[in-house]
Amino acid sequence: MSTVNDTKFQSAVFLLTGIPGQENIHVWISILFCLMYVTSILGNSFILFIIKTDPNLHEPMYIFLSMLAVTDLGISISTLPTILGIFWFNSREISFDACFAQLFFIHSLTFTESSVLLSMAFDRVVAICNPLRYDSILTPPRVAKMGLGSLLRAVVIVFPVPILLKQYQYCHDNVLSHSYCLNQEVMKMACSDIRAHSIYSFFVSLASLGLDALLILLSYMMILKTVLSIASHAKRLKALNTCVSHVCIVLLFYMPVLGLSVIHRFVKNFSPLVQTIMGNVYLLVPPLMNPIVYSVKTKAIRARIIRVFVK
Protein backbone atom coordinates (compact mmCIF):
# COMPACT_ATOMS: atom_id res chain seq x y z
CA MET A 1 0.00 0.00 0.00
CA SER A 2 2.85 2.35 0.86
CA THR A 3 4.42 1.75 -2.55
CA VAL A 4 1.18 2.64 -4.30
CA ASN A 5 0.85 5.87 -2.32
CA ASP A 6 4.47 6.83 -3.02
CA THR A 7 3.95 6.24 -6.75
CA LYS A 8 0.79 8.32 -6.70
CA PHE A 9 2.61 11.09 -4.85
CA GLN A 10 5.49 11.25 -7.32
CA SER A 11 3.19 11.33 -10.38
CA ALA A 12 0.77 13.92 -9.00
CA VAL A 13 0.85 17.60 -9.95
CA PHE A 14 -0.49 20.94 -8.78
CA LEU A 15 -2.38 23.18 -11.17
CA LEU A 16 -1.38 26.84 -11.21
CA THR A 17 -3.78 29.67 -12.03
CA GLY A 18 -3.36 32.70 -14.27
CA ILE A 19 -5.80 35.62 -14.01
CA PRO A 20 -9.26 34.15 -13.23
CA GLY A 21 -11.86 35.11 -15.82
CA GLN A 22 -9.27 36.70 -18.11
CA GLU A 23 -7.99 33.59 -19.85
CA ASN A 24 -8.91 34.92 -23.30
CA ILE A 25 -6.46 37.83 -22.95
CA HIS A 26 -3.61 35.96 -21.26
CA VAL A 27 -1.35 36.57 -24.26
CA TRP A 28 -1.82 40.33 -23.92
CA ILE A 29 -1.37 40.19 -20.15
CA SER A 30 1.88 38.29 -20.73
CA ILE A 31 3.30 41.38 -22.46
CA LEU A 32 2.83 43.39 -19.24
CA PHE A 33 4.41 40.65 -17.12
CA CYS A 34 7.29 40.29 -19.56
CA LEU A 35 7.97 44.04 -19.43
CA MET A 36 7.90 43.93 -15.63
CA TYR A 37 10.39 41.06 -15.53
CA VAL A 38 12.73 42.67 -18.07
CA THR A 39 12.62 45.99 -16.19
CA SER A 40 13.14 44.29 -12.83
CA ILE A 41 16.07 42.14 -13.96
CA LEU A 42 17.77 44.92 -15.90
CA GLY A 43 17.15 47.47 -13.15
CA ASN A 44 18.58 45.37 -10.34
CA SER A 45 21.49 44.22 -12.51
CA PHE A 46 22.25 47.84 -13.35
CA ILE A 47 22.20 48.79 -9.66
CA LEU A 48 24.73 46.02 -8.99
CA PHE A 49 26.89 47.23 -11.90
CA ILE A 50 26.81 50.84 -10.68
CA ILE A 51 27.78 49.90 -7.11
CA LYS A 52 30.52 47.48 -8.22
CA THR A 53 32.19 49.86 -10.66
CA ASP A 54 32.13 53.01 -8.50
CA PRO A 55 34.58 52.91 -5.53
CA ASN A 56 32.73 55.83 -3.93
CA LEU A 57 29.71 53.56 -3.49
CA HIS A 58 31.60 50.84 -1.63
CA GLU A 59 29.97 51.91 1.63
CA PRO A 60 27.65 49.95 3.96
CA MET A 61 24.51 51.69 2.72
CA TYR A 62 25.17 50.72 -0.90
CA ILE A 63 26.47 47.26 -0.03
CA PHE A 64 23.15 46.57 1.67
CA LEU A 65 21.43 47.93 -1.44
CA SER A 66 23.41 45.49 -3.58
CA MET A 67 22.26 42.64 -1.28
CA LEU A 68 18.69 43.81 -1.80
CA ALA A 69 19.20 43.83 -5.58
CA VAL A 70 20.58 40.26 -5.54
CA THR A 71 17.59 39.12 -3.47
CA ASP A 72 15.17 40.81 -5.87
CA LEU A 73 16.87 39.12 -8.82
CA GLY A 74 16.48 35.76 -7.08
CA ILE A 75 12.76 36.36 -6.47
CA SER A 76 12.19 37.39 -10.09
CA ILE A 77 14.04 34.36 -11.46
CA SER A 78 12.18 32.00 -9.07
CA THR A 79 8.74 33.04 -10.32
CA LEU A 80 9.51 33.80 -13.97
CA PRO A 81 9.26 30.21 -15.41
CA THR A 82 5.81 29.41 -14.03
CA ILE A 83 4.21 32.84 -14.53
CA LEU A 84 5.33 33.28 -18.12
CA GLY A 85 4.73 29.57 -18.79
CA ILE A 86 1.06 30.05 -17.92
CA PHE A 87 0.52 33.22 -19.94
CA TRP A 88 2.57 32.18 -22.96
CA PHE A 89 1.92 28.44 -23.24
CA ASN A 90 -1.00 27.79 -20.84
CA SER A 91 1.36 25.43 -18.99
CA ARG A 92 -0.45 25.10 -15.66
CA GLU A 93 0.92 21.80 -14.35
CA ILE A 94 3.82 21.75 -11.90
CA SER A 95 5.16 18.63 -10.22
CA PHE A 96 5.22 18.35 -6.46
CA ASP A 97 9.01 18.47 -6.26
CA ALA A 98 9.23 21.51 -8.55
CA CYS A 99 6.51 23.24 -6.54
CA PHE A 100 8.25 22.55 -3.22
CA ALA A 101 11.55 23.82 -4.64
CA GLN A 102 9.91 27.00 -5.92
CA LEU A 103 8.18 27.79 -2.64
CA PHE A 104 11.45 27.16 -0.78
CA PHE A 105 13.25 29.78 -2.88
CA ILE A 106 10.35 32.24 -2.75
CA HIS A 107 9.96 32.10 1.02
CA SER A 108 13.67 31.99 1.85
CA LEU A 109 14.37 34.96 -0.44
CA THR A 110 11.39 36.84 1.04
CA PHE A 111 12.72 36.31 4.57
CA THR A 112 16.21 37.28 3.38
CA GLU A 113 14.87 40.53 1.92
CA SER A 114 13.11 41.29 5.19
CA SER A 115 16.41 40.85 7.06
CA VAL A 116 18.27 43.03 4.56
CA LEU A 117 15.67 45.78 5.02
CA LEU A 118 16.25 45.54 8.78
CA SER A 119 20.01 45.82 8.21
CA MET A 120 19.42 48.91 6.09
CA ALA A 121 17.32 50.41 8.90
CA PHE A 122 20.18 49.74 11.33
CA ASP A 123 22.53 51.47 8.88
CA ARG A 124 20.31 54.59 8.95
CA VAL A 125 20.12 54.51 12.76
CA VAL A 126 23.90 54.48 13.09
CA ALA A 127 24.37 57.12 10.38
CA ILE A 128 21.91 59.55 12.00
CA CYS A 129 22.08 58.75 15.71
CA ASN A 130 25.80 58.00 16.03
CA PRO A 131 27.55 59.34 12.89
CA LEU A 132 30.99 59.65 14.51
CA ARG A 133 31.15 55.89 15.10
CA TYR A 134 29.59 54.90 11.76
CA ASP A 135 32.83 53.59 10.22
CA SER A 136 33.86 51.73 13.36
CA ILE A 137 30.47 50.06 13.84
CA LEU A 138 29.64 49.13 10.24
CA THR A 139 32.99 47.71 9.18
CA PRO A 140 33.16 45.64 5.94
CA PRO A 141 33.53 42.31 7.82
CA ARG A 142 30.54 43.15 10.01
CA VAL A 143 28.43 44.15 7.00
CA ALA A 144 29.37 40.86 5.29
CA LYS A 145 28.39 38.91 8.43
CA MET A 146 25.03 40.70 8.55
CA GLY A 147 24.35 39.75 4.93
CA LEU A 148 25.41 36.14 5.46
CA GLY A 149 23.37 35.97 8.66
CA SER A 150 20.28 37.21 6.80
CA LEU A 151 20.64 34.44 4.22
CA LEU A 152 21.41 31.67 6.71
CA ARG A 153 18.50 32.61 8.98
CA ALA A 154 16.09 32.43 6.06
CA VAL A 155 17.42 29.10 4.77
CA VAL A 156 17.39 27.47 8.22
CA ILE A 157 13.81 28.44 9.07
CA VAL A 158 12.37 27.65 5.61
CA PHE A 159 14.30 24.41 4.99
CA PRO A 160 11.89 22.21 7.05
CA VAL A 161 8.85 23.49 5.12
CA PRO A 162 9.26 21.53 1.82
CA ILE A 163 10.41 18.47 3.78
CA LEU A 164 7.21 18.53 5.85
CA LEU A 165 5.02 19.18 2.80
CA LYS A 166 6.58 16.19 1.01
CA GLN A 167 5.38 13.86 3.76
CA TYR A 168 1.70 14.71 3.27
CA GLN A 169 -0.85 13.04 1.02
CA TYR A 170 -2.75 15.28 -1.41
CA CYS A 171 -6.24 14.23 -2.47
CA HIS A 172 -8.00 17.54 -3.26
CA ASP A 173 -8.26 19.22 -6.65
CA ASN A 174 -4.73 20.61 -6.12
CA VAL A 175 -5.66 23.86 -7.93
CA LEU A 176 -3.60 26.74 -6.56
CA SER A 177 -4.90 30.30 -6.83
CA HIS A 178 -1.57 31.83 -7.96
CA SER A 179 0.85 31.40 -10.84
CA TYR A 180 3.48 30.07 -8.46
CA CYS A 181 3.66 27.95 -5.29
CA LEU A 182 3.26 29.35 -1.78
CA ASN A 183 3.45 27.39 1.45
CA GLN A 184 0.14 28.82 2.75
CA GLU A 185 -1.72 27.44 -0.26
CA VAL A 186 0.05 24.13 -0.76
CA MET A 187 -0.46 22.98 2.82
CA LYS A 188 -4.23 23.53 2.45
CA MET A 189 -4.23 20.98 -0.38
CA ALA A 190 -3.08 18.21 1.98
CA CYS A 191 -5.45 15.56 3.31
CA SER A 192 -3.14 14.90 6.26
CA ASP A 193 -3.19 16.64 9.64
CA ILE A 194 -1.35 19.93 9.02
CA ARG A 195 -1.88 21.57 12.41
CA ALA A 196 1.77 21.27 13.44
CA HIS A 197 2.90 22.57 10.05
CA SER A 198 0.44 25.46 10.20
CA ILE A 199 1.58 26.45 13.70
CA TYR A 200 5.24 26.26 12.67
CA SER A 201 4.63 28.39 9.57
CA PHE A 202 2.72 30.99 11.57
CA PHE A 203 5.41 31.37 14.23
CA VAL A 204 8.18 31.41 11.62
CA SER A 205 6.44 34.29 9.85
CA LEU A 206 5.84 36.06 13.15
CA ALA A 207 9.42 35.56 14.35
CA SER A 208 10.95 36.73 11.09
CA LEU A 209 8.76 39.12 9.13
CA GLY A 210 6.86 40.30 12.21
CA LEU A 211 9.97 40.80 14.32
CA ASP A 212 11.84 42.51 11.48
CA ALA A 213 8.95 44.92 10.89
CA LEU A 214 8.77 45.73 14.61
CA LEU A 215 12.52 46.39 14.81
CA ILE A 216 12.37 48.59 11.70
CA LEU A 217 9.56 50.58 13.34
CA LEU A 218 11.62 50.97 16.52
CA SER A 219 14.60 52.05 14.43
CA TYR A 220 12.63 54.88 12.89
CA MET A 221 11.32 55.93 16.28
CA MET A 222 14.95 56.32 17.36
CA ILE A 223 15.73 58.22 14.15
CA LEU A 224 12.78 60.60 14.65
CA LYS A 225 13.78 61.22 18.25
CA THR A 226 17.31 62.14 17.15
CA VAL A 227 16.17 64.25 14.19
CA LEU A 228 13.70 66.25 16.29
CA SER A 229 16.51 67.15 18.67
CA ILE A 230 18.43 68.85 15.83
CA ALA A 231 18.04 72.61 16.05
CA SER A 232 18.50 73.41 12.36
CA HIS A 233 15.41 72.84 10.20
CA ALA A 234 17.57 72.31 7.10
CA LYS A 235 19.65 69.63 8.83
CA ARG A 236 16.47 67.86 9.96
CA LEU A 237 15.22 67.67 6.39
CA LYS A 238 18.62 66.51 5.15
CA ALA A 239 18.71 63.69 7.74
CA LEU A 240 15.16 62.58 6.98
CA ASN A 241 15.79 62.73 3.24
CA THR A 242 18.41 59.97 3.56
CA CYS A 243 15.65 57.67 4.84
CA VAL A 244 12.99 58.35 2.19
CA SER A 245 14.13 55.61 -0.21
CA HIS A 246 14.30 53.01 2.54
CA VAL A 247 10.86 53.93 3.91
CA CYS A 248 9.37 53.58 0.41
CA ILE A 249 10.77 50.11 -0.22
CA VAL A 250 9.80 48.95 3.30
CA LEU A 251 6.19 49.93 2.57
CA LEU A 252 6.34 48.33 -0.89
CA PHE A 253 7.58 45.09 0.69
CA TYR A 254 5.56 44.73 3.89
CA MET A 255 2.12 45.98 2.81
CA PRO A 256 1.56 43.30 0.09
CA VAL A 257 3.10 40.59 2.32
CA LEU A 258 0.83 41.52 5.23
CA GLY A 259 -2.26 41.76 3.02
CA LEU A 260 -1.67 38.39 1.36
CA SER A 261 -0.91 36.67 4.69
CA VAL A 262 -4.15 37.97 6.21
CA ILE A 263 -6.16 36.77 3.20
CA HIS A 264 -4.64 33.28 3.23
CA ARG A 265 -4.99 32.73 6.96
CA PHE A 266 -8.10 34.58 8.08
CA VAL A 267 -10.34 35.49 5.10
CA LYS A 268 -12.64 32.96 3.45
CA ASN A 269 -14.56 33.29 0.18
CA PHE A 270 -12.34 36.14 -0.97
CA SER A 271 -12.48 37.21 -4.62
CA PRO A 272 -10.07 34.96 -6.59
CA LEU A 273 -9.29 37.81 -8.98
CA VAL A 274 -8.28 40.24 -6.20
CA GLN A 275 -6.32 37.50 -4.43
CA THR A 276 -4.40 36.68 -7.61
CA ILE A 277 -3.64 40.33 -8.31
CA MET A 278 -2.41 40.85 -4.75
CA GLY A 279 -0.23 37.76 -5.07
CA ASN A 280 1.39 39.12 -8.21
CA VAL A 281 1.88 42.53 -6.58
CA TYR A 282 3.52 40.81 -3.61
CA LEU A 283 6.26 39.19 -5.72
CA LEU A 284 6.56 41.38 -8.81
CA VAL A 285 6.23 44.99 -7.65
CA PRO A 286 9.02 45.23 -5.00
CA PRO A 287 11.77 43.86 -7.33
CA LEU A 288 10.46 46.19 -10.04
CA MET A 289 10.21 49.34 -7.93
CA ASN A 290 13.24 49.03 -5.61
CA PRO A 291 15.87 49.98 -8.25
CA ILE A 292 13.60 52.73 -9.57
CA VAL A 293 13.07 54.24 -6.10
CA TYR A 294 16.79 54.22 -5.28
CA SER A 295 17.74 55.57 -8.71
CA VAL A 296 15.34 58.50 -8.33
CA LYS A 297 15.71 59.29 -4.62
CA THR A 298 19.40 58.58 -3.93
CA LYS A 299 21.65 61.38 -5.13
CA ALA A 300 24.86 59.32 -5.40
CA ILE A 301 23.16 56.55 -7.42
CA ARG A 302 21.42 59.08 -9.64
CA ALA A 303 24.65 60.99 -10.31
CA ARG A 304 26.50 57.77 -11.19
CA ILE A 305 23.75 56.72 -13.60
CA ILE A 306 23.89 60.10 -15.31
CA ARG A 307 27.66 59.78 -15.72
CA VAL A 308 27.25 56.34 -17.29
CA PHE A 309 24.83 57.57 -19.93
CA VAL A 310 26.45 60.95 -20.55
CA LYS A 311 29.83 59.39 -21.46
CATH number for the domain harbouring residue 270: 1.20.1070.10
Residue 265's pLDDT is 66
Residue 6's pLDDT is 45
Residue 274's pLDDT is 77
Phi and psi, residue 268, nearest 5°: -110, 155
pLDDT tens-digit series, residues 110-145: 999 999 999 999 999 999 999 999 999 999 999 999
- Compute how many other C-beta atoms are within 10 angstroms of the C-beta atom of residue 22: 12
How far lies 143's CA from each of 138, 146, 147, 168, 245, in Å?
A: 6, 5, 6, 40, 20
Domain count, the chain: 1
Its domain, for residue 255, covers 2-310
Give the Cα separation of 41 and 35 in Å (integer): 10
Q: Which of 70-79, 191-200, 278-287, 301-310 is modeled with the greatest confidence? A: 70-79
pLDDT at 7 over 70: no
Give this prediction's pTM. 0.90
Give the Cα separation of 115 and 68 in Å (integer): 10
pLDDT tens-digit series, residues 219-245: 999 999 999 888 788 888 888 888 988
pLDDT tens-digit series, residues 58-84: 999 999 999 999 999 999 999 999 998
34 Cβ neighbours under 8 A, 6+ residues apart:
84
DSSP assigned state of 20: T
